Amino acid sequence: MHKETIIISLGGSLVAPGEIDTEFLKNFKRVVEKYLKDKKFFIFVGGGKIARTYQKALLEFGAESSQRDWMGIGITRLNAEIIKQAFFGNSYPKIITDPNKKIKTSKDIIVGAGWKPGWSTDYDAVLVAKNHKAKTIINLTNVDYVYDKNPNDFPDAKPLKDIDWVGFEKIVGDKWTPGLSMPFDPRASKLAAKLKLKVIIINGKNLERLEDFLNNKSFIGTTIQ
C-alpha cells in the first residue's frame, strides 16, 4: 500500500524550551503513531531557544555567521537524536542531515536535522518536500497563528488564518541570520513559494490541532499557499 508522505518541521523550542520536554515528546509520539497505518513521516527538528542561547554566546566572542550556524546545526542534531529515540522501533536508525539524500527504508518515521549554514531546518523540510513530491509541510511551532506583525511588540497584531506567499514574505523579509525566530524562515519561504507548496502553521503545544489537520477537519492555525 502506498503511504502518504507527511513532512513536519518541528520547532526546537517545543522539544527543549529549557530542559527537554519529555511530556510533549510522549504526546507527540502518541499522536503521530496513530497515523502510521497509512502515512509515513519526515520530521525535521529545529534548534530552538537552546541554539539561540549558544549562538548569542558565540557572537560575544566575535564568531562569524557560518560559525554560529554550525553551532545551531549541532543543536538540531542533538534534538533530532531525542526524537529518533522517542520513535524507536518505527524510526530510521540514522539522523538525516542531507535532505537531498534518497532514503530506502521500510521505517515510517525518518528524522532529520540541520544540513548547511545559511538556512534553518524549515529549508531542509522544503527540499524533502521537493524530492518526495509532497505538497504540504506542517510547521509545528509555539504560536497559534502567523500575525501581520510581531504580537510580542504590537498588542494590536492581527492573527491570519490564511495568507499567500507574497503577503507572508512581506512579513518575514528575505534575510537569514543565525538563530532567526520566524514562523517559517525567509529562504525556506522563497523556495516553498517557487514550488507552490502549502505550509500549515500549528501550535504544537496543542496537538489536537495537528490531529484535526491530519483528519481533514477544520483546525486552529495558519495556511500559507
Q: Give the SS3 label for residue 144.
A: coil
Closest by CA position to 6, among listed 33, 37, 38, 39: 39
Within 8 A by CB and 6+ apart from 96, the residues are: 42, 103, 110, 111, 112, 113
**Are the CB atoms for 165 and 146 separated by under 8 Å?**
no
**pLDDT, average across residues 63-89:** 94
In angstroms, the Cα distances linking 16 to 2, 75, 93 are 34, 10, 22
**pLDDT, average across residues 217-221:** 97
* Chain segment 138-161, per-residue pLDDT in tens: 999 988 998 888 787 888 989 999
- Which pLDDT does position 210 carry in this prediction? 97
CA distance 5 to 91: 14
Residue 46: which domain range? Answer: 4-224
pTM of the full structure = 0.92
Closest by CA position to 43, among listed 117, 3, 99: 99
Rg of the Cα atoms in the chain: 16
CA distance 138 to 129: 11
The total of structural domains in the chain comes to: 1
What is the CATH classification number for the domain harbouring 57?
A: 3.40.1160.10
**Are the CB atoms for 102 and 26 separated by under 8 Å?**
no
Q: pLDDT-derived band of residue 176, with 50, 70 and 90 as boundaries?
A: low
